[in-house]
Structure 1
Amino acid sequence: MMFAVEYYLGLILIGIVAGFASGLLGVGGGFLIVPFQYFLLKYIGVEPDLALLISFGTSLAIIIPTAISGAYKHSQKLDNIVGPGIRLGIFGILGSFIGGFVASLAPSRILEIIFGCLLLFIAIRNLLSRDKKEIKARFDFNFLAIMLTGLFVGFFSGLLGIGGGIFLIVILTMLFGFSMIRAIGTSSVFISLTAIGGTLSYMISGWGVNTFPFSIGYVSIVNFLLIACFSVPLAQVGAKYAHKLPEKRLKQVFGVVVLYIALKMLGILP
Protein backbone atom coordinates (compact mmCIF):
# COMPACT_ATOMS: atom_id res chain seq x y z
CA MET A 1 0.00 0.00 0.00
CA MET A 2 1.35 3.42 -1.00
CA PHE A 3 0.52 6.41 1.15
CA ALA A 4 -0.40 9.86 -0.20
CA VAL A 5 2.35 12.53 -0.27
CA GLU A 6 0.52 14.60 2.36
CA TYR A 7 0.71 11.63 4.73
CA TYR A 8 4.53 11.66 4.56
CA LEU A 9 4.61 15.46 4.91
CA GLY A 10 2.33 15.18 7.95
CA LEU A 11 4.70 12.66 9.59
CA ILE A 12 7.71 14.95 8.98
CA LEU A 13 5.85 17.90 10.53
CA ILE A 14 4.94 15.79 13.59
CA GLY A 15 8.63 14.91 14.00
CA ILE A 16 9.73 18.55 13.90
CA VAL A 17 7.12 19.85 16.37
CA ALA A 18 7.24 16.90 18.81
CA GLY A 19 11.04 16.70 18.81
CA PHE A 20 11.45 20.37 19.66
CA ALA A 21 8.78 20.14 22.40
CA SER A 22 10.43 17.03 23.81
CA GLY A 23 13.84 18.61 24.34
CA LEU A 24 12.40 21.94 25.44
CA LEU A 25 10.01 20.69 28.11
CA GLY A 26 11.63 17.38 29.16
CA VAL A 27 8.62 15.42 27.95
CA GLY A 28 8.60 12.56 25.47
CA GLY A 29 6.56 14.53 22.98
CA GLY A 30 3.92 11.78 23.04
CA PHE A 31 1.19 14.24 24.00
CA LEU A 32 1.71 15.69 20.50
CA ILE A 33 2.81 12.56 18.60
CA VAL A 34 -0.29 10.54 19.64
CA PRO A 35 -3.10 12.94 18.63
CA PHE A 36 -1.34 14.14 15.46
CA GLN A 37 -0.74 10.55 14.27
CA TYR A 38 -4.30 9.64 15.23
CA PHE A 39 -5.80 12.47 13.15
CA LEU A 40 -3.46 11.64 10.25
CA LEU A 41 -4.29 7.90 10.30
CA LYS A 42 -8.04 8.62 10.42
CA TYR A 43 -7.55 11.06 7.53
CA ILE A 44 -6.17 8.26 5.30
CA GLY A 45 -9.09 5.99 6.26
CA VAL A 46 -7.74 3.82 9.11
CA GLU A 47 -10.44 2.62 11.57
CA PRO A 48 -10.45 4.80 14.75
CA ASP A 49 -9.82 1.84 17.13
CA LEU A 50 -6.80 0.66 15.15
CA ALA A 51 -5.59 4.24 14.52
CA LEU A 52 -5.50 4.91 18.27
CA LEU A 53 -3.50 1.78 19.15
CA ILE A 54 -1.01 2.41 16.31
CA SER A 55 -0.66 5.99 17.54
CA PHE A 56 0.06 4.83 21.12
CA GLY A 57 2.49 2.04 20.17
CA THR A 58 4.41 4.02 17.54
CA SER A 59 4.55 7.10 19.77
CA LEU A 60 6.36 5.12 22.50
CA ALA A 61 8.85 3.69 19.98
CA ILE A 62 9.62 7.22 18.70
CA ILE A 63 9.99 8.56 22.25
CA ILE A 64 12.96 6.23 22.96
CA PRO A 65 15.53 7.84 20.59
CA THR A 66 13.95 11.32 20.93
CA ALA A 67 14.22 11.36 24.74
CA ILE A 68 17.76 9.88 24.67
CA SER A 69 18.74 12.74 22.35
CA GLY A 70 17.30 15.36 24.72
CA ALA A 71 18.72 13.61 27.81
CA TYR A 72 22.21 13.58 26.32
CA LYS A 73 22.07 17.35 25.77
CA HIS A 74 20.75 17.99 29.30
CA SER A 75 23.40 15.72 30.87
CA GLN A 76 26.14 17.90 29.38
CA LYS A 77 24.86 20.85 31.45
CA LEU A 78 23.51 19.05 34.54
CA ASP A 79 25.53 16.43 36.43
CA ASN A 80 22.85 15.14 38.84
CA ILE A 81 20.14 13.80 36.52
CA VAL A 82 21.35 10.44 35.15
CA GLY A 83 21.29 8.47 38.45
CA PRO A 84 17.78 9.51 39.58
CA GLY A 85 16.47 9.18 36.01
CA ILE A 86 17.74 5.59 35.67
CA ARG A 87 16.44 4.54 39.12
CA LEU A 88 12.97 5.88 38.30
CA GLY A 89 13.15 4.44 34.78
CA ILE A 90 13.76 0.85 35.94
CA PHE A 91 10.33 0.85 37.64
CA GLY A 92 8.89 2.92 34.78
CA ILE A 93 9.68 0.12 32.30
CA LEU A 94 7.58 -2.35 34.31
CA GLY A 95 4.67 0.10 34.77
CA SER A 96 4.70 1.00 31.08
CA PHE A 97 4.69 -2.66 30.00
CA ILE A 98 1.53 -3.29 32.09
CA GLY A 99 -0.12 -0.06 30.88
CA GLY A 100 0.40 -1.02 27.24
CA PHE A 101 -1.45 -4.33 27.67
CA VAL A 102 -4.32 -2.64 29.50
CA ALA A 103 -4.67 -0.16 26.59
CA SER A 104 -5.00 -2.97 24.03
CA LEU A 105 -8.01 -4.33 25.99
CA ALA A 106 -9.76 -1.04 26.80
CA PRO A 107 -12.44 0.56 24.53
CA SER A 108 -10.85 3.24 22.31
CA ARG A 109 -13.45 5.92 23.16
CA ILE A 110 -12.58 5.60 26.88
CA LEU A 111 -8.87 6.01 26.03
CA GLU A 112 -9.66 9.02 23.82
CA ILE A 113 -11.52 10.69 26.70
CA ILE A 114 -8.74 9.91 29.23
CA PHE A 115 -6.16 11.27 26.79
CA GLY A 116 -8.26 14.38 26.08
CA CYS A 117 -8.62 15.05 29.84
CA LEU A 118 -4.85 14.60 30.30
CA LEU A 119 -4.20 17.16 27.54
CA LEU A 120 -6.71 19.54 29.11
CA PHE A 121 -4.80 19.28 32.41
CA ILE A 122 -1.47 19.95 30.62
CA ALA A 123 -2.92 22.93 28.73
CA ILE A 124 -4.44 24.60 31.80
CA ARG A 125 -1.28 23.97 33.85
CA ASN A 126 0.92 25.55 31.15
CA LEU A 127 -1.37 28.54 30.66
CA LEU A 128 -1.61 29.27 34.40
CA SER A 129 1.99 28.46 35.34
CA ARG A 130 3.80 31.06 37.39
CA ASP A 131 7.54 31.55 37.50
CA LYS A 132 8.84 28.66 39.55
CA LYS A 133 10.68 29.38 42.76
CA GLU A 134 12.52 26.50 44.43
CA ILE A 135 9.91 24.47 46.33
CA LYS A 136 10.92 22.73 49.54
CA ALA A 137 10.77 18.94 49.28
CA ARG A 138 7.65 17.49 50.93
CA PHE A 139 8.94 13.88 50.82
CA ASP A 140 12.32 12.14 50.86
CA PHE A 141 13.45 10.90 47.46
CA ASN A 142 14.05 7.38 48.85
CA PHE A 143 13.68 3.86 47.41
CA LEU A 144 9.93 3.57 48.15
CA ALA A 145 9.19 7.00 46.66
CA ILE A 146 11.24 6.14 43.55
CA MET A 147 9.49 2.77 43.12
CA LEU A 148 5.94 4.14 43.51
CA THR A 149 6.61 7.17 41.29
CA GLY A 150 8.24 5.05 38.57
CA LEU A 151 5.42 2.47 38.52
CA PHE A 152 2.65 5.10 38.60
CA VAL A 153 4.05 7.33 35.86
CA GLY A 154 5.17 4.28 33.84
CA PHE A 155 1.65 2.78 33.88
CA PHE A 156 0.10 5.94 32.40
CA SER A 157 2.97 6.18 29.94
CA GLY A 158 2.12 2.73 28.53
CA LEU A 159 -1.64 3.26 28.75
CA LEU A 160 -1.62 6.52 26.78
CA GLY A 161 1.46 6.15 24.56
CA ILE A 162 3.26 9.09 26.19
CA GLY A 163 6.65 9.34 27.87
CA GLY A 164 5.08 10.39 31.16
CA GLY A 165 7.29 13.45 31.61
CA ILE A 166 4.21 15.63 32.03
CA PHE A 167 3.37 13.75 35.26
CA LEU A 168 6.95 13.21 36.40
CA ILE A 169 7.98 16.88 36.22
CA VAL A 170 4.97 17.88 38.36
CA ILE A 171 5.81 15.15 40.93
CA LEU A 172 9.55 15.94 41.07
CA THR A 173 9.06 19.69 41.48
CA MET A 174 5.99 19.66 43.76
CA LEU A 175 6.78 16.67 46.00
CA PHE A 176 10.55 16.18 45.93
CA GLY A 177 11.73 19.79 45.62
CA PHE A 178 13.59 19.43 42.30
CA SER A 179 14.33 22.66 40.41
CA MET A 180 12.43 22.91 37.11
CA ILE A 181 15.49 22.44 34.91
CA ARG A 182 16.73 19.46 36.96
CA ALA A 183 13.24 17.88 36.80
CA ILE A 184 13.22 18.35 33.01
CA GLY A 185 16.66 16.71 32.66
CA THR A 186 15.82 13.79 35.01
CA SER A 187 12.51 13.31 33.21
CA SER A 188 14.20 13.00 29.80
CA VAL A 189 16.43 10.18 31.17
CA PHE A 190 13.40 8.44 32.77
CA ILE A 191 11.30 8.66 29.59
CA SER A 192 13.95 7.10 27.35
CA LEU A 193 13.85 3.97 29.55
CA THR A 194 10.13 3.84 30.36
CA ALA A 195 9.08 3.96 26.71
CA ILE A 196 10.92 0.64 26.11
CA GLY A 197 8.44 -1.33 28.27
CA GLY A 198 5.40 0.20 26.58
CA THR A 199 6.81 -0.28 23.07
CA LEU A 200 7.41 -4.00 23.72
CA SER A 201 3.89 -4.52 25.05
CA TYR A 202 2.31 -2.82 21.98
CA MET A 203 4.48 -4.95 19.68
CA ILE A 204 3.35 -8.14 21.45
CA SER A 205 -0.36 -7.27 21.86
CA GLY A 206 -0.69 -6.18 18.22
CA TRP A 207 1.18 -9.17 16.79
CA GLY A 208 -0.94 -10.82 14.09
CA VAL A 209 -3.84 -8.43 14.86
CA ASN A 210 -2.75 -5.18 13.25
CA THR A 211 -3.65 -4.97 9.54
CA PHE A 212 -1.73 -1.71 8.91
CA PRO A 213 1.15 -2.28 6.41
CA PHE A 214 4.82 -2.26 7.48
CA SER A 215 4.16 -2.73 11.19
CA ILE A 216 5.52 -4.79 14.08
CA GLY A 217 2.47 -5.28 16.28
CA TYR A 218 0.95 -1.84 16.79
CA VAL A 219 4.23 -0.08 15.92
CA SER A 220 4.26 1.39 12.38
CA ILE A 221 7.77 1.25 10.88
CA VAL A 222 6.99 4.00 8.29
CA ASN A 223 5.68 6.38 10.97
CA PHE A 224 8.55 5.54 13.32
CA LEU A 225 11.32 6.16 10.78
CA LEU A 226 9.94 9.40 9.33
CA ILE A 227 8.96 11.02 12.63
CA ALA A 228 12.13 9.88 14.49
CA CYS A 229 14.42 11.19 11.71
CA PHE A 230 13.23 14.69 12.55
CA SER A 231 12.28 14.41 16.25
CA VAL A 232 15.73 13.16 17.36
CA PRO A 233 17.81 16.13 16.08
CA LEU A 234 15.06 18.62 17.00
CA ALA A 235 15.07 17.32 20.61
CA GLN A 236 18.71 18.49 20.84
CA VAL A 237 17.69 21.94 19.61
CA GLY A 238 14.78 22.06 22.09
CA ALA A 239 17.02 21.01 25.00
CA LYS A 240 19.50 23.76 24.09
CA TYR A 241 16.77 26.40 24.14
CA ALA A 242 15.38 25.09 27.44
CA HIS A 243 18.50 26.54 29.08
CA LYS A 244 18.07 29.94 27.36
CA LEU A 245 14.46 30.99 26.86
CA PRO A 246 11.89 32.42 29.33
CA GLU A 247 10.02 29.39 30.59
CA LYS A 248 6.67 31.11 31.21
CA ARG A 249 6.19 32.36 27.63
CA LEU A 250 7.05 28.96 26.15
CA LYS A 251 4.61 27.18 28.42
CA GLN A 252 1.81 29.56 27.43
CA VAL A 253 2.38 28.96 23.70
CA PHE A 254 2.35 25.17 24.22
CA GLY A 255 -0.68 25.54 26.48
CA VAL A 256 -2.71 27.08 23.65
CA VAL A 257 -1.64 24.38 21.15
CA VAL A 258 -2.40 21.54 23.58
CA LEU A 259 -5.76 23.07 24.58
CA TYR A 260 -6.84 22.95 20.93
CA ILE A 261 -5.75 19.30 20.57
CA ALA A 262 -7.51 18.38 23.86
CA LEU A 263 -10.83 19.86 22.74
CA LYS A 264 -10.49 18.03 19.40
CA MET A 265 -9.77 14.67 21.11
CA LEU A 266 -12.76 15.13 23.43
CA GLY A 267 -15.01 15.83 20.41
CA ILE A 268 -15.79 19.39 21.58
CA LEU A 269 -14.19 20.85 18.43
CA PRO A 270 -14.88 19.27 14.99
Structure 2
Amino acid sequence: MEPLFYIAIVFCFSILFSFLGMGGAIIYVPLLYWLGMDLLTAIAIALLLNVVTTFSASLTYIKKRMVDFPTAAPFIVSSAIAAPFGAFISKSVSDNTLLTIFSLVVALAGVTMIFSKTIGNTERELKASPKQRFLIGIILGLLIGTFAGMLGIGGGIFLVPVLLLLGFGIKSAPATSALVVLFSSLFGFLSHIGGLQIDLTLLAGMAFTALVGGQIGSRLMYLRHDRLRIFFEKYFGKMLGIVLLLISVMLQWSLMGK
Protein backbone atom coordinates (compact mmCIF):
# COMPACT_ATOMS: atom_id res chain seq x y z
CA MET A 1 0.00 0.00 0.00
CA GLU A 2 1.31 3.47 -0.90
CA PRO A 3 2.68 5.48 2.07
CA LEU A 4 0.64 8.53 1.00
CA PHE A 5 -2.52 6.46 1.40
CA TYR A 6 -1.69 5.70 5.04
CA ILE A 7 -0.78 9.34 5.69
CA ALA A 8 -4.03 10.61 4.13
CA ILE A 9 -6.07 8.25 6.33
CA VAL A 10 -4.24 9.35 9.47
CA PHE A 11 -4.69 13.02 8.58
CA CYS A 12 -8.47 12.73 8.20
CA PHE A 13 -9.08 10.61 11.28
CA SER A 14 -6.72 12.59 13.53
CA ILE A 15 -8.71 15.75 12.78
CA LEU A 16 -12.07 14.14 13.46
CA PHE A 17 -11.10 12.22 16.58
CA SER A 18 -9.09 14.98 18.25
CA PHE A 19 -12.18 17.19 17.91
CA LEU A 20 -14.05 14.59 19.98
CA GLY A 21 -11.29 14.09 22.55
CA MET A 22 -10.29 10.67 21.19
CA GLY A 23 -7.28 9.20 19.42
CA GLY A 24 -8.84 7.18 16.62
CA ALA A 25 -7.33 3.77 17.42
CA ILE A 26 -10.73 2.12 17.35
CA ILE A 27 -10.68 2.81 13.59
CA TYR A 28 -6.93 2.41 13.02
CA VAL A 29 -6.63 -1.12 14.44
CA PRO A 30 -9.12 -2.90 12.13
CA LEU A 31 -8.15 -0.71 9.16
CA LEU A 32 -4.42 -1.41 9.44
CA TYR A 33 -5.13 -5.09 10.02
CA TRP A 34 -7.28 -5.28 6.88
CA LEU A 35 -4.53 -3.48 4.93
CA GLY A 36 -2.14 -6.35 5.70
CA MET A 37 -0.39 -5.56 8.99
CA ASP A 38 -0.25 -8.23 11.66
CA LEU A 39 -2.59 -7.52 14.57
CA LEU A 40 -0.02 -6.70 17.27
CA THR A 41 1.78 -4.27 14.94
CA ALA A 42 -1.54 -2.63 14.07
CA ILE A 43 -2.28 -2.25 17.79
CA ALA A 44 1.14 -0.71 18.50
CA ILE A 45 0.88 1.77 15.62
CA ALA A 46 -2.68 2.71 16.55
CA LEU A 47 -1.58 3.44 20.12
CA LEU A 48 1.34 5.56 18.91
CA LEU A 49 -0.98 7.56 16.65
CA ASN A 50 -3.32 7.95 19.63
CA VAL A 51 -0.44 9.37 21.66
CA VAL A 52 0.57 11.91 19.01
CA THR A 53 -2.99 12.99 18.17
CA THR A 54 -4.09 13.47 21.77
CA PHE A 55 -0.79 15.13 22.73
CA SER A 56 -1.31 17.66 19.96
CA ALA A 57 -4.94 18.21 20.93
CA SER A 58 -4.09 18.46 24.64
CA LEU A 59 -1.68 21.33 23.98
CA THR A 60 -4.61 23.35 22.66
CA TYR A 61 -7.05 22.24 25.37
CA ILE A 62 -4.61 22.99 28.20
CA LYS A 63 -3.86 26.40 26.72
CA LYS A 64 -7.61 27.08 26.63
CA ARG A 65 -7.85 25.88 30.27
CA MET A 66 -10.53 23.32 29.43
CA VAL A 67 -8.85 20.27 31.06
CA ASP A 68 -10.07 19.16 34.51
CA PHE A 69 -6.80 17.85 35.96
CA PRO A 70 -8.21 16.52 39.28
CA THR A 71 -10.69 14.37 37.33
CA ALA A 72 -8.08 13.22 34.80
CA ALA A 73 -5.43 12.25 37.38
CA PRO A 74 -6.99 9.02 38.78
CA PHE A 75 -7.81 7.83 35.25
CA ILE A 76 -4.18 8.36 34.22
CA VAL A 77 -2.67 6.59 37.26
CA SER A 78 -4.91 3.52 37.12
CA SER A 79 -4.64 3.16 33.33
CA ALA A 80 -0.84 3.22 33.66
CA ILE A 81 -1.05 0.30 36.10
CA ALA A 82 -3.43 -1.74 33.94
CA ALA A 83 -1.88 -1.25 30.48
CA PRO A 84 0.96 -3.81 30.86
CA PHE A 85 -1.60 -6.38 32.02
CA GLY A 86 -3.66 -5.77 28.89
CA ALA A 87 -0.56 -6.11 26.71
CA PHE A 88 0.26 -9.43 28.39
CA ILE A 89 -3.22 -10.71 27.56
CA SER A 90 -2.90 -9.64 23.91
CA LYS A 91 0.31 -11.63 23.52
CA SER A 92 -1.13 -14.68 25.23
CA VAL A 93 -4.27 -15.25 23.15
CA SER A 94 -4.93 -15.87 19.46
CA ASP A 95 -5.66 -13.17 16.89
CA ASN A 96 -9.18 -14.56 16.43
CA THR A 97 -9.91 -14.19 20.15
CA LEU A 98 -8.57 -10.63 20.18
CA LEU A 99 -10.57 -9.69 17.09
CA THR A 100 -13.73 -11.18 18.58
CA ILE A 101 -13.30 -9.13 21.75
CA PHE A 102 -12.41 -6.09 19.67
CA SER A 103 -15.53 -6.41 17.53
CA LEU A 104 -17.72 -6.58 20.65
CA VAL A 105 -16.03 -3.52 22.14
CA VAL A 106 -16.42 -1.66 18.83
CA ALA A 107 -20.13 -2.55 18.72
CA LEU A 108 -20.59 -1.27 22.28
CA ALA A 109 -18.72 1.91 21.38
CA GLY A 110 -20.93 2.37 18.32
CA VAL A 111 -24.11 2.07 20.35
CA THR A 112 -22.66 4.48 22.93
CA MET A 113 -21.87 7.06 20.25
CA ILE A 114 -25.29 6.77 18.60
CA PHE A 115 -27.26 7.30 21.79
CA SER A 116 -24.89 9.70 23.57
CA LYS A 117 -26.25 13.25 23.76
CA THR A 118 -23.30 15.56 23.18
CA ILE A 119 -25.22 18.78 22.58
CA GLY A 120 -25.72 21.17 25.44
CA ASN A 121 -24.63 24.48 26.85
CA THR A 122 -20.97 25.22 27.41
CA GLU A 123 -20.63 23.88 30.96
CA ARG A 124 -23.11 22.26 33.32
CA GLU A 125 -23.21 21.52 37.02
CA LEU A 126 -21.12 18.49 37.93
CA LYS A 127 -23.26 15.62 39.20
CA ALA A 128 -20.59 13.87 41.27
CA SER A 129 -18.48 14.98 44.22
CA PRO A 130 -14.67 15.04 43.94
CA LYS A 131 -14.50 11.79 45.94
CA GLN A 132 -17.00 10.09 43.63
CA ARG A 133 -15.14 11.30 40.54
CA PHE A 134 -11.91 9.95 42.04
CA LEU A 135 -13.42 6.47 42.58
CA ILE A 136 -14.96 6.47 39.10
CA GLY A 137 -11.59 7.49 37.67
CA ILE A 138 -9.75 4.65 39.42
CA ILE A 139 -12.26 1.97 38.37
CA LEU A 140 -12.76 3.11 34.77
CA GLY A 141 -9.07 3.89 34.42
CA LEU A 142 -8.25 0.23 35.12
CA LEU A 143 -10.63 -0.81 32.34
CA ILE A 144 -9.28 1.82 29.94
CA GLY A 145 -5.68 0.80 30.62
CA THR A 146 -6.51 -2.87 30.09
CA PHE A 147 -8.25 -2.08 26.79
CA ALA A 148 -5.31 0.11 25.73
CA GLY A 149 -2.79 -2.65 26.31
CA MET A 150 -4.93 -5.49 24.99
CA LEU A 151 -6.78 -3.95 22.03
CA GLY A 152 -4.99 -0.68 21.27
CA ILE A 153 -7.97 1.47 22.30
CA GLY A 154 -7.28 4.63 24.28
CA GLY A 155 -10.75 4.61 25.83
CA GLY A 156 -11.93 8.06 24.78
CA ILE A 157 -14.95 6.68 22.98
CA PHE A 158 -16.30 5.53 26.35
CA LEU A 159 -14.77 8.24 28.52
CA VAL A 160 -16.35 11.21 26.75
CA PRO A 161 -19.94 9.98 27.28
CA VAL A 162 -19.11 9.18 30.94
CA LEU A 163 -17.79 12.70 31.50
CA LEU A 164 -20.87 14.16 29.85
CA LEU A 165 -23.08 12.09 32.17
CA LEU A 166 -21.09 13.42 35.12
CA GLY A 167 -22.01 16.95 34.05
CA PHE A 168 -18.96 18.06 32.07
CA GLY A 169 -19.66 20.41 29.18
CA ILE A 170 -19.23 19.75 25.49
CA LYS A 171 -15.81 21.41 25.53
CA SER A 172 -14.33 20.22 28.83
CA ALA A 173 -15.37 16.56 28.32
CA PRO A 174 -13.34 16.05 25.09
CA ALA A 175 -10.49 18.16 26.52
CA THR A 176 -10.21 16.09 29.71
CA SER A 177 -10.67 12.86 27.78
CA ALA A 178 -7.83 13.74 25.38
CA LEU A 179 -5.35 14.05 28.26
CA VAL A 180 -6.42 10.70 29.73
CA VAL A 181 -6.23 8.96 26.33
CA LEU A 182 -2.75 10.44 25.81
CA PHE A 183 -1.39 8.61 28.85
CA SER A 184 -3.43 5.40 28.56
CA SER A 185 -2.24 5.07 24.95
CA LEU A 186 1.34 5.92 25.89
CA PHE A 187 1.54 3.18 28.51
CA GLY A 188 -0.19 0.77 26.16
CA PHE A 189 2.28 1.60 23.38
CA LEU A 190 5.30 1.15 25.65
CA SER A 191 3.96 -2.30 26.52
CA HIS A 192 3.88 -3.21 22.81
CA ILE A 193 6.97 -1.41 21.51
CA GLY A 194 9.05 -4.60 21.41
CA GLY A 195 6.80 -6.13 18.75
CA LEU A 196 6.61 -3.10 16.46
CA GLN A 197 7.44 -4.04 12.85
CA ILE A 198 7.13 -1.18 10.36
CA ASP A 199 9.25 1.09 8.19
CA LEU A 200 10.42 3.89 10.49
CA THR A 201 10.13 6.53 7.75
CA LEU A 202 6.47 5.67 7.21
CA LEU A 203 5.88 5.61 10.97
CA ALA A 204 7.45 9.07 11.34
CA GLY A 205 5.31 10.41 8.49
CA MET A 206 2.13 9.05 10.03
CA ALA A 207 3.06 10.43 13.46
CA PHE A 208 3.80 13.91 12.08
CA THR A 209 0.50 13.87 10.19
CA ALA A 210 -1.34 12.90 13.38
CA LEU A 211 0.37 15.81 15.16
CA VAL A 212 -0.88 18.28 12.55
CA GLY A 213 -4.34 16.72 12.43
CA GLY A 214 -4.61 16.89 16.21
CA GLN A 215 -3.95 20.63 16.12
CA ILE A 216 -6.56 21.20 13.43
CA GLY A 217 -9.20 19.05 15.11
CA SER A 218 -8.76 20.56 18.58
CA ARG A 219 -9.02 24.08 17.16
CA LEU A 220 -12.29 23.23 15.40
CA MET A 221 -13.82 23.15 18.88
CA TYR A 222 -13.30 26.91 19.11
CA LEU A 223 -14.57 27.96 15.70
CA ARG A 224 -16.64 31.11 15.70
CA HIS A 225 -18.89 29.56 13.08
CA ASP A 226 -21.39 28.07 15.52
CA ARG A 227 -23.46 26.29 12.89
CA LEU A 228 -20.48 24.29 11.64
CA ARG A 229 -19.37 23.46 15.18
CA ILE A 230 -22.86 22.38 16.23
CA PHE A 231 -23.15 20.21 13.12
CA PHE A 232 -20.00 18.33 14.13
CA GLU A 233 -21.18 17.96 17.72
CA LYS A 234 -24.69 16.86 16.80
CA TYR A 235 -24.21 14.53 13.87
CA PHE A 236 -20.63 13.26 13.73
CA GLY A 237 -20.96 11.10 16.82
CA LYS A 238 -24.02 9.32 15.43
CA MET A 239 -22.42 8.83 12.01
CA LEU A 240 -19.30 7.46 13.69
CA GLY A 241 -21.45 5.11 15.77
CA ILE A 242 -23.01 3.65 12.61
CA VAL A 243 -19.55 3.21 11.06
CA LEU A 244 -18.35 1.41 14.19
CA LEU A 245 -21.31 -0.96 14.10
CA LEU A 246 -20.52 -1.75 10.46
CA ILE A 247 -16.88 -2.39 11.37
CA SER A 248 -17.99 -4.74 14.13
CA VAL A 249 -20.21 -6.69 11.72
CA MET A 250 -17.42 -6.87 9.12
CA LEU A 251 -14.96 -8.14 11.74
CA GLN A 252 -17.37 -10.88 12.76
CA TRP A 253 -18.03 -11.73 9.12
CA SER A 254 -14.33 -12.04 8.36
CA LEU A 255 -13.84 -14.27 11.41
CA MET A 256 -16.67 -16.55 10.29
CA GLY A 257 -14.95 -16.94 6.92
CA LYS A 258 -11.73 -18.25 8.48
CA contact (8 A) 2:109 2:158 kept: no
Match of 2:145 among 154, 161, 171: 154
CA offset digits 1:236-258 (Å, max 9, x no partner): 11112234411111213323333
**Matching residue's letter, 1:149:** L
Q: How far does residue 132 in structure 1 lie from its aligned partner after superposition? A: 4.1
1:24-103 alignment, distance < 5 Å: 24-41=19-36, 51-103=38-90
Match of 1:116 among 94, 103, 108: 103
Q: Name the residue aligned to 1:226.
A: 205
Identify unmatched segments of 5+ residues in structure 1: 1-5, 43-50, 215-220
Identity percentage of aligned residues: 24
**Matching residue's letter, 2:138:** M
**Matching residue's letter, 1:124:** V
**Matching residue's letter, 1:255:** G
Q: How far does residue 38 in structure 1 lie from its aligned partner after superposition? A: 0.9
> 1:266 is paired with a residue of what secondary structure?
helix
1:256 equivalent in alignment to 2:242: yes
Q: Name the residue aligned to 2:12.
A: 17
Separation in structure 2 between the aligned mates of residue 213 and residue 142 of structure 1, nearest angstrom: 40
CA contact (8 A) 1:59 1:161 kept: yes
Separation in structure 1 between the aligned mates of residue 126 and residue 77 of structure 2, nearest angstrom: 26
Count how many residue pairs are aligned between Structure 1 and Structure 2.
Answer: 245
Q: Name the residue aligned to 1:45.
A: none
Separation in structure 1 between the aligned mates of residue 115 and residue 220 of structure 2, nearest angstrom: 21
1:108-147 alignment, distance < 5 Å: 108-133=95-120, 134=124, 137-138=127-128, 140-147=131-138
Distance 1:55 1:213, change over 3 A: closer
Match of 2:221 among 206, 219, 242: 242
Q: How far does residue 58 in structure 1 lie from its aligned partner after superposition? A: 1.5
Q: How far does residue 7 in structure 1 lie from its aligned partner after superposition? A: 3.3
Large movers: runs of 4+ above 6 Å? none
Identify unmatched segments of 5+ residues in structure 2: 224-228
Separation in structure 2 between the aligned mates of residue 213 and residue 242 of structure 1, nearest angstrom: 33
> 2:54 is paired with a residue of what secondary structure?
helix
**Matching residue's letter, 2:9:** I
Distance 1:229 1:93, change over 3 A: same
> 1:10 is paired with a residue of what secondary structure?
helix
CA offset digits 1:69-117 (Å, max 9, x no partner): 0111122223443443244212211212211111111221121122112
> 1:178 is paired with a residue of what secondary structure?
coil
Separation in structure 2 between the aligned mates of residue 190 and residue 226 of structure 1, nearest angstrom: 24
CA contact (8 A) 2:17 2:24 kept: yes
Q: How far does residue 17 in structure 1 lie from its aligned partner after superposition? A: 2.3
